[in-house]
Structure 1
């Protein structure tokens, strides 16, 4: 989050022969916390932010997204969700649930089953914590009221999907935590105990610390998978991203890149973003890349070279991944890059080169 020039004749030929429909993905594998499958897919954002202020207005998930993802040969969707889509922001009302909205999540789980896609449910905003503004009224890491509400939310989801096999549904507890390890382990332990009191065998995944980048060895005994990120170096993945504190006058990124006094290339990624997680795997913890992607202000050829190096490394490691996002500024549809010749596809703008790259890995 490495190689030579991407736009070679062979790749262009492969793109020109790209079939936009494929047979549905094969039967989903049975995951275990110690060995997560090489799930490959996308983040879908219909519940990412409550209301209309997010990149995707809150609303029902779109069946067409699931169909396209499956037809292109992928087998995974991650649903980063805000609890505020179905629960009021007021802590006094944190145990209220809007069934109308939750049934929209139910339908997404059904779409996953219909199209043979694993559905990973993530509370991107959980009572007491979110990596994005606005700040929560209580602090999940220090306030027991927030923790009780977070446990309540996950216990409800556990009850809601009890009986669904793990090959269909998994839980990703908290998006990109940033706190000390002791507080994180305390909170994750409480959430896991709450879920397992309802559904003892549910597959549960925890994000790494430092916004998902640092493996958490102290969680290994809980028998969870862990989720990492693929955004390094940030000056490549988030060039001119309005919400990130990076120099606004920096020159367009290259790949390989220089960032924070370090030369970044495939070997740097292996050393910094892969090797520490491979050590965690040896302790019986499965690894998946829950988010990665490149914002639409990064030159397209640079983005594709960087993406291919990431994909090669994850393929060699046996890890799956979930691109942020499917439709939008990081995705393969409607990304609004100024340097891409898009294909008109089902009323959307398709980045054929990025799709072809993803399908190869």
Structure 2
């Protein structure tokens, strides 16, 4: 057993002393864990069944066998990023109108509920997330009728959708359902340009939006967990809401040269990037564990202040050399796990996933008709 495993085991074994101040020597430069994370240390996957705003272009649906495999392997968490246009009725031959945002398609909602029901059958916690909300999405590909950060009409619709989902699950166990308000908030100069320059949402504006949605949920669900994704596309702590009963969700994609190597949606010149290494010198920067410790310190400090933290998305696109990906990802998971922070891989099956990731440098294992990345699975199970 290496020294990092010893340190994790010590933290796990002393975690029963919740409420007491722990003082754990820090071999690797991370802050002591003095407060138990208010959010459970879930670990699992994002499922992208309702990720696309156009149901006709959605990927193959997750089946019950896949959820059973997750459960059998010991995972307990599913994040369900949803595009609201996937479950409303409107004329898709033109841009949506503000009035049509309220036209719920109950059959589409039922399909979402069916997937959640299967997950609950296997005791998996499901975190519902609006990946595309009225007036905002980190992705291009759909024309919004207004801007969430600016227009009251958009905020009213945002709250309407969250009130609807809260009402659907008002009688569900708090152990099985939670609400992740909005995927990766930011300000974008051009909502239709995938590589548009992004900036922080002003703290007061973020608080206004989060608080309004929180109150819309609380009208139906006084106890269910509510989570807000970090500012700056999920990367930054939101100090303006730490007094609210809202957890915060970080990301496991730093640095992008590792996690999104050659990804065309994340790089202006994806074919002319330096080959990633971990650890090692890449371009004009040295990539190693120290940069991750610095990156996650504000999130660990947030845990120590009594705010719940979970890593809602993490992982690596399939163009990064597999050995580099695993070396980097082990450091990410070790830092998160050592501080009581759970994680959710983007995704289960697909280019980032443990199944069918289409990497060219992996010795896949045949698994019930799928290609399983056993090394990645074993790494996830280690934490």
* Band of TM-score, shorter chain: 0.7 to 0.9
CA distance in 1, matches of 2:261, 2:100: 39
TM superposition shift of 1:347:
1.0
Alignment check: 8 A CA contact 1:34 1:224 kept: no
* Aligned match for 2:239, one of 190, 208, 217: 217
Query: 1:1-361 maps to which residues of 2 (within 5 A)?
Result: 35-51=38-54, 56-57=58-59, 61-87=62-88, 88=90, 89-134=96-141, 135-178=143-186, 179-248=201-270, 249-258=272-281, 261-272=284-295, 274-361=296-383
Bigger relative contact order, structure 1 or 2, given CA contacts below 8 A and separation 6+?
1
Match of residue 13 from structure 1: none
CA distance in 2, matches of 1:52, 1:166: 29
The number of residue pairs the alignment matches comes to 327
Q: Deviations over 1:287-345 (max 9, x none)?
A: 00000111100001101111111111111111100000110111110100011111111
TM superposition shift of 1:72:
1.1
TM superposition shift of 1:34:
6.1
TM-score under structure 1 normalisation? 0.87
CA distance in 2, matches of 1:131, 1:295: 18
CA distance in 2, matches of 1:236, 1:60: 28
Please give the root-mean-square deviation of Cα atoms over the aligned residues, in Å.
1.8
TM superposition shift of 1:50:
2.7
Alignment check: 8 A CA contact 1:61 1:105 kept: no
CA distance in 2, matches of 1:73, 1:60: 22
CA distance in 2, matches of 1:172, 1:142: 21
TM superposition shift of 1:283:
2.6
CA distance in 2, matches of 1:261, 1:204: 40
Alignment check: 8 A CA contact 1:41 1:76 kept: yes
Q: What secondary structure sits across from 2:224 in the alignment?
A: coil
Q: Deviations over 1:176-209 (max 9, x none)?
A: 0012222111111110111111222121000010
Alignment check: 8 A CA contact 1:235 1:246 kept: no
Q: Could you say if the C-alpha distance between residues 65 and 279 of structure 1 is closer, same or farther in structure 2, counting changes exceeding 3 Å?
A: same
Alignment check: 8 A CA contact 2:125 2:176 kept: yes
Alignment check: 8 A CA contact 1:162 1:199 kept: yes
- Bigger mean CA deviation after superposition, 250-259 or 43-52: 250-259
- Bigger mean CA deviation after superposition, 299-308 or 245-254: 245-254
Q: Deviations over 1:58-85 (max 9, x none)?
A: x754222211111111111100110011
Runs of 4+ in 1 over 3 A off after TM superposition: 257-262
CA distance in 2, matches of 1:104, 1:136: 24
